[in-house]
Structure 1
Amino acid sequence: MPVCPVTHHRLDLDGIDVFYRAAGPQDAPVVLLPHGYPCSSYEFRDLMPLLADRWRLLAPDFPGCGYSATPDDFTYDFDGYADFLERFTRHLGIERFALYLHDFGSQIGLRLAIAQPQRITALIVQNGDIYEDQLGPKYAALQRFFANPTRRRAPGWPTRSASKASRRSFSTKWSRNWPNASRRISGTCIGRSCRRAARKSRCR
């Protein structure tokens, strides 16, 4: 598989100094990569070269993140960042694109997709966030627990047997997809592994 280079760029977006990474042919279908928090386009540095033989990848640093500026008059919320993405793509002449959504970038990208669905060719969702103002009836039991944490099971809280079944299902999927994983799966082991992985992949 050919590995294509990632190039670094800056642009002035309505007075905001914006840094972004790009890879792939100018005439290829576009994939927009909004990053997570607290990170930057740096997190896509290894992914972009692997896809750039057939896609045009664009990964901006949000204002206040990475190498982009931190203007005082920017609106630092999901709507402000969604507007930033819209202006960023317009500035580069990008009319249609696929969106990769994960972490807090999922809420930003989804706002853009809802506002302008005609511009979206695909949504790729991986480990997206959900926030309290977006919770519906499905999360009522969880909201009650957040309001009053207790060892007693709140109404609607999963039973212990349901929790065990869920864990068995996860273990089965894990062993099926990662057959060479030799360690016994447990919440403790998984937690330690995640913490080690997080330390190794700190974003810069």
Structure 2
Amino acid sequence: MVGATTHRRMQLDDLSIFYRDAGPPEAPVLLLPHGYPCSSFQFRQLMPALADRWRTIALDWPGFGYSSTPDLTAFGYDFDAYADVLAKLADAFGLERYALWLHDYGSQIGLRHAISYPDRVTALIIQNGDIYEDVLGPKYAVIKAWWADKTPDKHRPLEAAVSEDGFRAEFIGEVADDVAMRVPPDLWKLHWPLMDTPVRRQVAVDLMEKLEANLAWFPRYQAYLRAHHPPTLFVWGPEDGYMPAASARAYHRDLPDAELYLIDRAGHWLLETHFDDALPLIREFLARVHA
């Protein structure tokens, strides 16, 4: 069936990785690393919508979705460890050239991968992924408060965010009510039970903590963009307290020719709320730069 998405597993060393795969095996590939607090489920609409001309592959990171959850002593659960998983997945598929989708934590992971393998990356599509410290949005205030004062009181909001209510707030807490109604509750109702284990809750909190060390990578990400100028499309939801419109526009410092679309009234999860606005932009871009 044309456009059908298959759901499979692969073994990468000691990791059991769940992934979704759509499109002809010989077609140009778009890799879809996911963000927080979600899984490959976030790409369930996009993958079949591109499958007539492109192959799309989306995985669940270790500790998320349907992938395995090694003990905290057996896997790093940081952006370097996840970038290593992405490289191993690409190698397992025998991929030599592909485009990358960058969103949320996936942008930190994907750009580390691009720095290591610049000759593989044909193009970038960036959906709300931040790499400029001076334009981080106001919602970073809670995390910054803990960075500045590592006390239990400052840490509790991070812990509280890793909950069903916290996930719900991430998905619908910033957009207007009529936009929020487009977001299916499955995103938190189905995902939270998968995340509600001691190790997975700790992983999610730890990743928020590790954003502080990740700031040191921001200049390296920017240097990669300046050095390689990958063809880049931005489809961005400006109603985002972590990554507002200024976070998108900042990329033009290093990619002045990149295509930037701020989708009106969309937020961090625009593929849920403004899919029909984003899809033509994505298809037209891929047809020009990743055929």
Query: Normalization by structure 1: what TM-score?
Result: 0.68
- SS of match in other structure, 1:31: strand
- SS of match in other structure, 1:118: coil
Counterpart residue number, 1:167:
none
CA distance in 1, matches of 2:127, 2:111: 13
The gaps in structure 2 that reach 5 residues or longer are 146-172, 191-291
The gaps in structure 1 that reach 5 residues or longer are 149-187
CA distance in 1, matches of 2:182, 2:24: 32
Please identify the structure whose Cα radius of gyration is greater: 1
For the structure 1 residues 129 and 198, does the alpha-carbon distance in structure 2 shift closer, same or farther, using more than 3 Å as the test? farther
Counterpart residue identity of residue 39, structure 2: S
- SS of match in other structure, 2:122: strand
Q: What is the aligned-residue identity percentage?
A: 53
Counterpart residue identity of residue 96, structure 1: R
Counterpart residue number, 1:8:
7
- Answering whether residue 203 of structure 2 is matched by residue 202 of structure 1, we say no
How much has 1:15 moved relative to structure 2?
Answer: 1.4
CA distance in 1, matches of 2:49, 2:181: 25
Give 1:172-187 correspondences, 5 Å limit. Answer: none
- Answering whether residue 40 of structure 2 is matched by residue 41 of structure 1, we say yes
CA distance in 1, matches of 2:8, 2:184: 28
CA contact (8 A) 1:19 1:60 kept: yes
For the structure 1 residues 139 and 31, does the alpha-carbon distance in structure 2 shift closer, same or farther, using more than 3 Å as the test? closer
Cα deviations across residues 128-171 of structure 1 (Å, max 9, x unaligned)? 134xxx62xx459x8xx8878xxxxxxxxxxxxxxxxxxxxxxx
How much has 1:45 moved relative to structure 2?
Answer: 1.0
Counterpart residue number, 1:185:
none
Counterpart residue identity of residue 97, structure 2: R
Give 1:100-179 correspondences, 5 Å limit. Answer: 100-130=101-131, 135=133, 138-139=134-135
Decide which of 189, 192, 196 is 2:177's aligned counterpart. 192
Counterpart residue identity of residue 37, structure 1: Y
- SS of match in other structure, 2:127: strand
RMSD of Structure 2 on Structure 1 (CA):
2.9
CA contact (8 A) 1:3 1:50 kept: no
Counterpart residue number, 2:50:
51
Query: Normalization by structure 2: what TM-score?
Result: 0.49
Greater percentage in helix:
2
Counterpart residue number, 1:182:
none
Counterpart residue number, 1:27:
26
CA distance in 2, matches of 1:86, 1:75: 15
Counterpart residue identity of residue 38, structure 1: P
